[in-house]
Structure 1
Amino acid sequence: MQDVSIRLDDTPGTLAKMGECLGRAGISVEGGGAWVVGESGFAHFLFQDGEAARAALEAVGIEVLEVRDVVVQRLKQAVPGQLGQLTRRMADAGINIEALYSDHDHQLVLVVDKPEEARIVSAKWAVET
């Protein structure tokens, strides 16, 4: 799975244009979110093939900032504090979380500066909890 970070125009129809172009290309969004900061829209969306998503988006003039591998972790929803525990482990390991969201299967998606190290921390945390 890969995160695609995108800059979007803050105008009506921009998300529709994005979704339509991905649909035409047969590319499914697996999770993510979008928001406005200042006068620009930004988004992080999850795809099976981030480079295919990049190609489809750029073909219609949508600016792709980055395509990156992610760390995916299932939290036990009924157990309070799991997000804090996992993210504390990441911080203690010197891993910076740059974006965090959920996928369509209710899993936590982490975009981090050190994905290989984060996968190790995440796997160890999952076993211990």
Structure 2
Amino acid sequence: MFDIEVPAPEGARSLMQIGQALGLAGVGLEGGGMWSSVAHYLIADPETATRVLAAAGCGGAIVRPVLLAELDADVPGALARMMRSLVDAGVTLHAQYSDHDNRKVLVVDDVERAREALGAA
């Protein structure tokens, strides 16, 4: 799976354009959101996504592989412990959000090192 980061300078209008372009191309959004005028979505087909977004005038997309990690969100401090493992391993976190299965989507500089740090399969 991949994170696609897309500029969304016009808020809802930008998300409408992004969603329409990806939806018409059959690219599903498995999680994500928008903050600070930048949208992040979890996708399976980055080639199609970047192609249709560029054709729709939504250029500037950045695609990165992600690590999907389980987090016991009901346990206080679970996120801090997860992040401590990444920090201790020297992993840089670019973005973090949840997917539709309540897993953490971690956009990191080194997926394999993050996977090892978290003991993820």
Aligned partners of 1:71 and 1:111 also within 8 Å: yes
Matched, 1:15 2:15: yes
Report the counterpart of residue 92 of structure 2 in structure 1: 96
Deviation at 1:65, TM superposition (A): 3.2
Query: Percent of aligned positions with the same letter in both sequences?
Result: 40
Runs of 4+ in 1 over 3 A off after TM superposition: none
Following the alignment from structure 2 to structure 1, what is the Cα–Cα distance between the partners of residues 11 and 110? 34
Aligned partners of 1:4 and 1:64 also within 8 Å: no
Larger Rg: 1
Report the counterpart of residue 61 of structure 1 in structure 2: 57
Matched, 1:119 2:106: no
Matched, 1:51 2:58: no
Report the counterpart of residue 74 of structure 2 in structure 1: 78
Matched, 1:30 2:35: no
Kindly tell me the number of residue pairs found equivalent between the two proteins: 121
Extract unaligned runs of 5+ from structure 2.
none
Q: Deviations over 1:5-38 (max 9, x none)?
A: 11123255221111111111011101111123xx
Tell me the TM-score normalized by structure 2.
0.91
Aligned partners of 2:50 and 2:61 also within 8 Å: no
Following the alignment from structure 1 to structure 2, what is the Cα–Cα distance between the partners of residues 73 and 48? 16
Q: Which has the higher strand share?
A: 1
Tell me the TM-score normalized by structure 1.
0.86
